[in-house]
A = this chain, B = another copy of it.
Amino acid sequence: MVDALRALANPMRLQMLLWLRDPIRNFAGMETIADPLEVGVCVSHIQAKAGLAQSTVSAYMAELQRAGLVLATRVGKWTHYKRDEQRIAQFVAALGQTL
């Protein structure tokens, strides 16, 4: 709960999670090795969009994952991240209840 709030309290991390709502629109024109809707978006593409260092993006995605907001899938050398819609909805519902 607090972990998710902390993860979302950073503008760039929040933005990244929002980009993943519509991967096709937000990562258009990037060569895709797998279906974005199925496995998600790879770190390189998120990095290109964010304009941060590669190591920073990696750490941020790992933090979103630890917070239970995204799921990671490795396809070859590429790690793909997609939203964990169930956990996100669960978080919003829980916040609405307790808050």
Interface residues of A (CB under 8 A from B): 2, 5-6, 8-9, 11, 14, 17-18, 88, 92, 95-96, 98-99
Contacts and interface: CB of A to CB of B under 8 A. Distances in A.
A53 B11 CA distance: 30
Nearest to A6: B9
| A interface secondary structure, majority | helix
- Copies per complex? 2
Contacts of A18: 98-99
A99 B9 contact: no
A6 B17 CA distance: 16
Most-contacted residue by chain B among A5, A11, A95, A98 (CB, 10 A) = A5
21 contacts: A2-B9, A2-B11, A2-B14, A5-B5, A5-B8, A5-B9, A5-B14, A6-B9, A8-B9, A8-B99, A9-B9, A17-B99, A18-B98, A18-B99, A88-B99, A92-B92, A92-B95, A92-B96, A92-B99, A95-B95, A96-B96
